[in-house]
Amino acid sequence: MAMVLSEEAGMLKDAAKGFLADSAPVSQLRRLRDEESADGFDRSTWKDMAEMGWTSVLVPEEHGGVAMGHVAAGVIAEEMGRTLTASPYLSTAIMGATALSRFGSDAQKGEWLPRIAAGDAITAVAVDEGRKHNPVNVTTQAERSGNGFKLTGAKSFVAEGHIADMLIVSARTAGGDAEEEGISLFLVPQDAAGVKIQRASMVDSRNSARIELDGVEVDADALLGEVDAGYKPLESILDSGRAGLAAEMSGSAQECLHQTVEYLKERKQFGEIIGTYQGLQHRAAHLYSEIELGKSIVLKTLQTLDMAPDHAAMMVSAAKSKMGQVAQLAAQESIQMHGGIGMTDEYDIGFFIKRVRVAEALFGDANYHTDKFARMRNY
């Protein structure tokens, strides 16, 4: 497959860039933060996105979607990374849609996918239990109870968990800690009895929640996929999100470089435009090279997710790891090259270093994925 965007994806990219620059630039995130928005995102922008079809890129046509695939989904995520647009796009349009369209029963698909496509339902994936991502470490228990299950445990770092209508929860139905076997996935409505959601205030001003499940009763049809065999589907759902995050970080890294290069062309010190200093030129050129590598592996990964989703795990880990490191380098170099002004809250660059840190940590940081990559390569 050619490593360029299709005409269709290219048009989507241009449209997304235009819309986000106009309707959801960094200043929107700043406003949401300063106003201490309870939602943490702008519902009217989200509605607009849904109308443009962004929430349906991964929803099959029979359920009201446009099924454009992961490359298209990544193009939108990348543009959102440029503007740091806060929205439940990743948790819902990418991960929720992937979860349901690939692993949902007909009833589950029928219930959720049209609502996701329409922008009417928000989903979140509740997987982590400790400070570090490790989806085999599941202690949340799901005991059989009557016709269904009773869930007890706690989840943390649930992106968009605060505003989700439905949570996709991993819980243990069998097996011991750190075993892949025995993990099951459940669709849990946020208003189910026993669900306690506490919003966490995050460094990037985005949503995240700590969730307690205190004997939450769900029916058997809340099970997503097979009982005890939820780990593989979970990894696929996570991989869609990881690739989306990598794409988002690619956009953020590009924007950091762009703003920095523009600043280097303007700022004068010692009677010279600082962009004439070779020390800074070489660092900017190195950063450019790293970002180009990151862009390539992200595109390759998104293409693999579309063509061979069951064989994408290694590429996903490579992309998440590489882009996480590159985006952090980009954010760090941006602040350093901006000097004092980059340290002020008034300036936008700080929002990038914060968001990139969170995106890097979400669903496995660079270390996690580098380690996973090595394991998949058998060393």
Residues between 157 and 176 that touch other proteins (CB under 8 A): 157
First to last CA, the chain: 29
Residue 279 sits in the site that holds its own copies (CB under 8 A): yes
Site string for other proteins, 218-257 (x = CB under 8 A): ----------------------------------------
Smallest CA-to-CA distance from 155 within 112, 191, 198 is with 198
Pick one of its own copies, other proteins, none as the site partner of residue 38 (Cβ within 5 to 8 A by kind). Answer: none
**Residue among 277 and 347 whose Cβ is closer to its own copies:** 277
Tell whether residue 265 is a contact of its own copies (CB under 8 A): no
Give, as ranges, the residues between 280 and 319 that touch its own copies (CB under 8 A): 281-282
Helix (H) or strand (E) holding 268: strand 268-269
Cα gap 34→129, rounded to integer Å: 30
Find which of other proteins, its own copies, none residue 33 binds, CB within 5 to 8 Å per kind: none
Indicate the residue among 44 and 278 with the shorter CB distance to its own copies. Answer: 278
Q: How far is CA 133 from CA 123, 273, 313, 335, in A?
A: 19, 44, 16, 28
Contact between 271 and its own copies (CB under 8 A)? Answer: no
User: Shortest gap between Cβ of 124 and its own copies (angstroms)?
Assistant: 34
Please report how many Cα atoms fall inside a 13 Å half-sphere around the Cα of residue 199, on the Cβ side. Answer: 15
Cα–Cα distance for residue pair 331/260, rounded to 1 Å: 10
Indicate which of its own copies, other proteins, none lies near residue 147 (CB less than 5 to 8 Å, by partner kind): none
CA distances from 9 to 50, 119, 368 (A): 17, 21, 31
Q: Mark residues 282-321: x for contact with other proteins by CB under 8 A, - for none.
A: x-xxx-xx--xxxxxx-xx--------------x--x--x
Quick one: which segment of 168-176, 207-215, 230-238, 271-279 binds its own copies (CB under 8 A)?
271-279
Q: Which of 141, 175, 228, 277 binds other proteins (CB under 8 A)?
A: 277
Residue 278 near its own copies by CB under 8 A: yes
Distance CA 271, CA 47 (A): 50
Considering only 66-74, 114-122, 201-209, 233-241, which stretch makes contact with other proteins by CB under 8 A?
A: 201-209
Judged by CB under 8 A, which of 47, 280, 306, 309 binds other proteins? 280
Q: DSSP string spanning 133-160?
A: --TT----EEEEETTEEEEEEEEEEEET
Binding site partner of 239, from other proteins, its own copies, none, Cβ cut-off 5-8 A by kind:
none
Instruction: Please give the radius of gyration of the chain, using alpha carbons only, rounded to the nearest integer.
Output: 21
| Minimum separation from the CB atom of position 159 to other proteins (A) | 10
Binding flag, residue 198, other proteins (CB under 8 A): no
Which stretch, 23-31, 212-220, 258-266, 273-281, contacts its own copies (CB under 8 A)?
273-281
Supply φ then ψ for residue 28, to 5 degrees.
-65, -45
Which of residues 53 and 161 has its CB atom nearest to other proteins in the complex? 161
Q: Which of 28, 207, 252, 370 binds other proteins (CB under 8 A)?
A: 370
Q: If we measure between CA atoms, which residue out of 265, 266, 312 comes closest to residue 69?
A: 312
Options 55-63, 76-84, 272-280, 352-360: segment touching its own copies (CB under 8 A): 272-280
Question: 2 to each of 12, 296, 300, 323, how far by Cα in Å?
Answer: 18, 12, 10, 21
> Considering the complex, what minimum distance in angstroms separates the CB of residue 269 from other proteins?
4
Residues contacting residue 68 through CB under 8 Å, at least 6 positions apart: 8, 9, 12, 57, 58
Provide the minimum distance between the beta carbon of 357 and its own copies in the complex, in angstroms, as a whole number.
23
Q: Please select the residue that binds other proteins; options are 141, 261, 306, 309, rule is CB under 8 A.
A: 261
Which residues touch 34 (CB under 8 Å, ≥6 apart)?
A: none
Task: Compute the least distance from the CB of residue 349 to its own copies, in Å.
Answer: 22
Contact in structure between 188 and 213 (CB atoms under 8 Å): yes
Task: Enter the tokens of residue 240.
Answer: 């869609």
Positions in the binding site for its own copies (CB under 8 A): 277-279, 281-282
